Copies of this chain bind each other. A is one copy, B any other.
Amino acid sequence: MKKIFILKASKAKTSKDFSLNDLPGDGGRMDIVARCVNSAFFLSHDLRKDTEFIVVLEGGPDPPVTLRFVGSKLKYLSPDERCTGGLIKKALEKVTAKETESTPGIFVSKKSFLEVINELEGELVYLHENGEDIQNVDFDSDKICFVLGDHLGLSQDDESLLKTAKRVSISPMVLHADHCIIIVHNVFDRKNL
């Protein structure tokens, strides 16, 4: 089972000119992005190699920038937010039209959220508090793409791209994106998928 998590980070900086001392403010909630990376990949003494995490940064000065983290190739990643923030800064130094690997397992491109969604292969799932309970959902593919909103959620335009996606809920509460990723992993870990 391969899992891909896709986050739209509406305000996250698209240049390296933000301070690691202020990921929430100066980074445009880059702390959320960093925590999602942690949730997507970290096991106690291992990384999840069957997982990808894609984030579309849509803040200033030059949106969009897309970062793709590939579990099977990742190196130099520590669980703390500042470490991930540093790797993101390095990636943002290397933005070109064509997707480039900035450090092992991190790929940077100018793709938009629309392009990312259109290029996805596998079953598309929109994590949403009004969706069907994930415990009752049958997934049809061994590659599932979970779309997450940040603290501002997805716009109507974004949601129109997800018309064909299954709406799936993982909790009766509204949760942070990084917490959602943990719960999704747990559902599949329990099924040994």
Contact = CB atoms under 8 A, between A and B. Distances in A.
Q: How many copies does the complex hold?
A: 2
Nearest to A133: B190
Contacts of A155: none
A18 to B, nearest CB: 13
A13 to B, nearest CB: 15
A97 interface: no
A186 interface: yes
Contacts of A163: none
Interface in A1-58: 20-21, 23-24, 31-32, 35, 38-39, 42-45
A23 B175 CA distance: 25
Nearest to A151: B44
Given A31-B80, A80-B31, A183-B182, A174 B20 contact: no
12 contacts: A21-B82, A23-B80, A24-B78, A24-B79, A31-B80, A35-B35, A35-B38, A42-B179, A43-B174, A43-B175, A44-B174, A82-B82
